Chain A
Amino acid sequence: MKLAFQLAYRNLIGAGLRTWLNAGILSFSFIVILFFDGLIDGWNKQGIRDSIDWEYGQGQLLHADYDPYDPFTIDDGHGKIPESERAASVPVLVRQVSVYPEGRMLSVKLSGIEAEQKLLKLPTGQLQKSEAEIPAVIGKRMAKVAQLKVGDRVLMRWRDKNGVFDAQEVTIAGVFSSNVPTVDQGQFWIPIRKLWQMTGLHEEVSYLIQKEPKAVSISGWNYKSQNELLKPFRELIKVERIGNSILFTLLLGIALLTLFDTQVLSIFRRQKEIGTYIALGMTRWQVVGLFTAEGAMYSLFAILLGSLYGIPFLFYMTKAGFGIPEANLQMGITIAERIYPVYGFSLIFGTVLLVVISATVVSFLPARKIARLDPVLAIKGKVL
């Protein structure tokens, strides 16, 4: 076996440019797979962290009639804060209102939240500091759509608990930047006490965000753990991974096809050498092993070559991040403007294993022919 690897090494080095072209193509696939998988891992980690920090906290307790994905439930999906949860969670009341920036009507979700809360990253402290009658904080996406900035006043129209119209100006106390669009798009945040006063829905909330993870069972309320809340995001990442694996298969397929062709050509051109090996006493399978080792060694060269340019590149990307196009940011999914890839041990080890094994298999397939050839004819170069 050692001899096989020594011979394989010499043969590959002797082949010169051909070897490095093959290794280059394979290394490119290797680095691309590592990079994009790292990117997905980075997105996954960032997304989960952001969702917890900005929206989910340690879990939520939703009113039984309230479904955050169904605007039809906003009107009726609220109830009195359960006493047992009062201190353990941050209450949020959601209402549907209209705002009129520069005479345009926009239907938005108005969320009332405790201005003193520290659980979420929402800058509710700006609501406390503001001296406006109705201060509001909005996300940058909402600010862009409504063309609002800090200090602007915008007219808001809402209905109280009896359906009576009211309208008043709201002052933008802060514009925040969040990677979580569900706390931003089409949404205004104001102090919950103000919203209670505006709507007459005193002490009523649509959902509660838990400060500590604790499964609770309260009649009329649905408990959702952090894991349950993150499930849709995880499903999205899963789908992205499947999409990426198709790309990787194609990319790796092209690289392996090149390797396969090289092996076929190599066996064809080296028939006399193969016959000589057998004539000198090597078994046919030892020769097959030699050629397979050569193929597998391509993958090792590819990893070495990839490391030369890949490590600095991948390291740089972990620091600089990968910019996400503006269009993707408007899609309503939790994604940062820049994703910082994460390369875990399992990702690196798994990718190395994938490249080595697939290169070995692809090298073995054409080499199997050697097992059937006649050494005399092989020496004459008349077998294949």
Chain B
Amino acid sequence: MISNLLRTFAFLFSFSQDLPPAAEIIRKVDANMNSKTQINLSQMVVHGRRSSRTIESKSYGEGYNKSFIEYFAPAREKGTKMLKLGKRLWIYSPATDRTIQLSGHMLKQSVMGSDLSYEDMMDDRKLSEMYTAEYLGDEELGARKVWVVYLLAKVPDASYPSRKVWIDQTHFVPLKQELYAKSGKLLKRVLFSDVRQVSGRWYPHRINYKDMLKNGKGTDFIIKEIQFNPEIPESIFSKAKLRK
């Protein structure tokens, strides 16, 4: 899930002096943030009104269409598994020993009480294919110099018709992102932090995902371990794996 999220927010900009800046930034970010396969161990911290819940999981991803997630903690979520193949999403619950396919309004529900819906998880196309980029200028975000890029959907079915992205000028990593509705209303804000180098890539290890229409502190994703381009057996991405 984390990898999908990161891919979703990692824009594929490229950089060279002969090309428009925004397109160049896309290419660099793409090269940095994406890999053919990915395995990561992560925590999702859902901040509630009174307390926070931490959910631990391991996810496997291949390209944009396949992912498999297994939850380890807390005890009530332990053994829950999710499989995404293209536009279809299945969830296995050990409590009921049943696998259900999510569709329709169920996809609009939040994932385990987080600020992320199942739909958000499934919206994983390459954003460079979905948006045209416009360079807005340079800014400083914390201590980092960033480019601010405005993305406008060029396909009719992009969930968010426009986005604004702050991209680290040194590491080509998005540090902040704002997702807007058609009306221009800010819907979601994503903050990327704890950027560390892993296998020659700079990668954010903490992501705060916030539904701006809702009260609360949002949801944090913390990456504990990440592997780029590992070998993943095809059997991982099968419905049979859900019950194992």
Q: Which residues of A contact B (CB under 8 A)?
A: 71-75, 96, 98, 100, 102-105, 107, 155, 157, 159-160, 162-168
Contacts and interface: CB of A to CB of B under 8 A. Distances in A.
B157 A107 contact: no
A165 B105 contact: no
A107 B181 contact: no
6 contacts: A72-B106, A74-B104, A75-B105, A157-B187, A166-B185, A167-B181
Contacts of B41: none
Contact of A168 (B106, B185, B214, B215): B185
Given A100-B213, A107-B109, A164 B104 contact: no
Interface string B18-36: 0000000000000000000
A164 B159 contact: yes
Given A100-B214, A163-B159, 19 more contacts: A71-B105, A72-B105, A73-B104, A96-B104, A96-B105, A98-B108, A98-B213, A102-B215, A103-B214, A104-B214, A157-B181, A162-B157, A164-B153, A165-B159, A165-B187, A166-B185, A167-B181, A167-B185, A168-B181
Interface in B93-145: 103-106, 108-110
Contacts of B109: 107
Contacts of B182: 160, 164-166
B158 interface: yes
Q: Kindly name the residue among B110, B159, B160 whose own CB sees the greatest number of chain A CB atoms within 10 A.
A: B159
B215 A104 contact: yes
Interface of B: 103-106, 108-110, 153, 156-161, 181-183, 185, 187, 211, 213-216
A165 B213 contact: no
A43 B109 CA distance: 37
B187 A167 contact: yes
B214 A72 contact: no
Contacts of B103: 72
Given A75-B104, A96-B105, A100-B213, A166 B181 contact: yes
Contact of B108 (A102, A107, A164): A107
Interface of B is mostly: loop
Contacts of A103: 213-216
B183 A167 contact: yes
Nearest to A72: B104
Instruction: Pick the 10 closest A-B CB pairs, nearest first.
Output: A103-B215, A72-B104, A166-B182, A167-B181, A162-B157, A167-B185, A100-B213, A96-B105, A162-B156, A166-B181
Contact of B181 (A72, A105, A165): A165
Contacts of A155: 185, 213
Nearest to B117: A98
A29 to B, nearest CB: 48
A60 B182 CA distance: 34
B120 to A, nearest CB: 10
A94 to B, nearest CB: 11
B158 A164 contact: yes
Nearest to B156: A162
Given A96-B108, A107-B108, A160-B182, A167 B213 contact: yes
A168 B183 contact: yes
Nearest to B103: A72
Nearest to B102: A72
Nearest to B181: A167
A157 to B, nearest CB: 6
A6 B90 CA distance: 82
A157 B213 CA distance: 9
Contacts of A74: 104-105
A227 to B, nearest CB: 30
Contacts of A102: 215
Contacts of B181: 157, 165-168
A104 B213 CA distance: 8
Contacts of A166: 181-183, 185
Nearest to A166: B182
A72 B108 CA distance: 11
Contacts of A107: 105, 108-109
B213 A164 contact: no
A320 to B, nearest CB: 43
Q: Kindly name the residue among B108, B187, B215 whose own CB sees the greatest number of chain A CB atoms within 10 A.
A: B108
Contacts of B216: 103
B187 A105 contact: no
A159 to B, nearest CB: 8
Nearest to B107: A75
Contacts of A73: 104
Contact of B160 (A75, A96, A165): A165
Contacts of A168: 181, 183, 185
A73 B156 CA distance: 23
